[in-house]
Amino acid sequence: MYNAKAYSVASATSPFASTTIARREPTEHDVQIEILFCGICHSDLHQARNEWSGVMPTVYPCVPGHEIVGRVTKVGSAVTKFKPGDLAAVGCLVDSDGTCPECKAGFEQFCQNFTLTYNFPDKHTGGVTYGGYSESIVVKDHFVVKVPSNLDLAGAAPLLCAGITTYSPMRHWGVAKGKKVGIVGLGGLGHMGVKFAHAFGAHTVVFTTSPGKKDDALRLGADEVVISRNADEMAKHAGSFDFILDAVAADHDINAYINLLRRDGNLTMVGAPENPLAVGVFGLIMGRRSISGSPIGGLAETQEMLDFCGKHNITSDVEVIPIQKVNEAYERLLKSDVKYRFSIDMASLKSE
Ligand code: NAP
Ligand code: ZN
């Protein structure tokens, strides 16, 4: 074991503070990474504040962060994919059983025995896993992906969660040219959803509660922008969408969006608000519409997404912050005030 600098919260109501955590020395299949940038996902906030206590209670101290890019510093003897000095990235998963049908099919995100990057039992240390708000991390090679060298690293970090979480369901539901696609909520996930829907050739419509984001939505690739609190603007789109991706982090009325789907249209929830959402079943029955959910993506698809981003030069629009500003960044996330992802410059941790 060795010590690594990190930022943690001590309870659901504590601010982040500097700390030291224990990391394992790399074993034969491990990759040790010096973390250069880590994105701030709204899931980090949900978990730091124990908002998902019903499904995933937070164990404190908690070190969040699952949008990690960095440089390899050491590899285990059996690692062939990476060598010291390589760029490398880690997302939400750091382990799975590797033997179940889901793992064999490349769907590690559905493995019953996966290990998440933070706030999950850590079989190596006996404690919980610690995420990317840290100077380094040690991860099994299968869960480490390659970063295309042309991508800006601060903007590439959010691809590891916001990117794959929006890319995967859009691929699954066939988002392509000729389809009308809605993206609800222009935050970290939503803005990546817009970039991908646009890159896939779909007619892309952004639904936002923030009128001030309209110009940005168009710049990011939207064909139309709807202010979702305006009922007249919403009504114009009734029954017209093939697919809607809902990336809202708070309570909201999803029925308003279900009614915008055409026959057999689908609304996929990637946003994970704290409380259950009410669904009016008539909206589903009429039009044989469906709602579903989607978690992140598997490792092969995550690499595919990164390669797609490399080819199309897609990164997240980021506000780079030092780790010392993380508490402030969380307050801004709660006000939907992020353009469009915070990316922590981990060099700032050196001064702690
Ligand atoms: P974010 O950056 O905070 O963006 C959320 C956006 O939702 C806001 O920017 C805002 O967009 C909209 N919004 C906020 N409050 C709202 C309200 N009361 N009513 C309507 N819209 C509201 O968050 P994020 O990091 O993108 O994450 C979004 C959600 O996805 C979170 O719940 C997160 O936990 C979840 N998530 C899920 C997965 C998965 O695997 N499924 C992965 C990552 C994250 P406008 O200003 O445009 O309205
Ligand atoms: Zn995330």
- How many angstroms separate the alpha carbon of residue 190 from the centre of ligand 1? 7
CATH of range 163-293; options 3.40.50.880, 3.40.50.720, 3.60.150.10, 3.40.640.10: 3.40.50.720
Does ligand 1 have an atom closer than 6 angstroms to the CB of 48? no
pTM above 0.85, yes or no: yes
Tell me how far CA of residue 261 lies from CA of 37, 196, 200, 304, in angstroms. 38, 20, 19, 29
Q: What is the DSSP letter of 9?
A: B
pLDDT at 26: 97
The structure tokens 């307050």 sit at 331
* CB 16 within 8 Å of CB 8: yes
> What's the rounded mean pLDDT across residues 13-41?
98
Any atom of ligand 1 within 6 Å of the Cβ of 46: yes
Inter-residue contact 244 to 267 (CB < 8 Å): yes
Using a pLDDT cut of 90, give the percent of the chain over it.
Answer: 100
Q: Which amino acid is at 148?
A: P
Structure-token pair, residue 58 = 């937070």
- Quick: pLDDT tens for 155-213: 999 999 999 999 999 999 999 999 999 999 999 999 999 999 999 999 999 999 999 99
pLDDT band with cut points at 50, 70 and 90 for residue 148: very high
Length of the chain: 352
Query: What local confidence, expressed as pLDDT, does residue 347 receive?
Result: 98
Q: What is the pLDDT of residues 77-118, one digit of tens each?
A: 999 999 999 999 999 999 999 999 999 999 999 999 999 999
Q: Look at residues 113, 156, 109, 111 and name the one whose alpha carbon lies nearest to residue 294.
A: 109
Count, in order, helices (H) and strands (E) of the chain: 11, 16
What are the pLDDT digits (tens) for 75-88? 999 999 999 999 99
Instruction: Verify whether ligand 1 is closer than 6 Å to residue 153 (CB atom).
Output: no
Distance 12 CA to ligand 1 centre (A): 20
Q: Within the chain, which residue ranges are assigned CATH 3.40.50.720?
A: 163-293
Q: How many CB atoms lie within 10 A of CB 174?
A: 13
Q: How far apart are CA 202 and CA 279, in angstroms?
A: 27
Compute and round to an integer the Cα radius of gyration of the chain.
20
Strands (E), the chain: 2-8, 17-23, 30-40, 68-75, 87-90, 93-95, 115-116, 136-140, 180-184, 203-208, 224-227, 241-246, 261-269, 290-293, 318-322, 341-345
Dist CA 146 CA 155 (whole Å): 15
- Name the nearest CA neighbour of 133 among 2, 5, 325: 5
Where in the sequence of the chain do the CATH 3.90.180.10 domains occur? 2-161+316-351
Mean pLDDT of the chain: 98
Query: Which pair of structure tokens corresponds to residue 7?
Result: 């930022």
Strands 341-345 and 30-40: antiparallel
Smallest CA-to-CA distance from 289 within 299, 298, 300, 280 is with: 280
Element (H or E) spanning 40, and its range?
A: strand 30-40
Q: How far is CA 189 from CA 46, 81, 174, 274, in A?
A: 15, 29, 18, 17
CATH number corresponding to 2-161+316-351 = 3.90.180.10
Indicate if ligand 1 lies below 6 Å from the C-beta of 248.
Answer: yes
- Ligand 1 atom 31, closest CA: 249
pLDDT band at 152 (very low <50, low <70, confident <90, very high): very high
Helices 162-172 and 299-312 meet at what angle, rounded to 10?
100
Ligand 1, atom 46: closest residue by C-alpha: 210
The protein residue whose alpha carbon is closest to atom 23 in ligand 1 is: 42
Ligand 2 centroid–CA 304 distance in Å is 18
Provide the 10 A C-beta neighbour count for residue 29: 15
Per-residue pLDDT of 239-292, as tens digits, reads: 999 999 999 999 999 999 999 999 999 999 999 999 999 999 999 999 999 999
d(CA 189, CA 169): 12
Which of 327, 309, 334, 329 is closest to 319 using CA atoms?
Answer: 329
Q: Is the C-beta atom of 116 inside 6 A of ligand 1?
A: no
**Which of 40, 43, 186 gets mutated to test ligand 1 (max ligand atoms within 8 A of its CB)?**
43
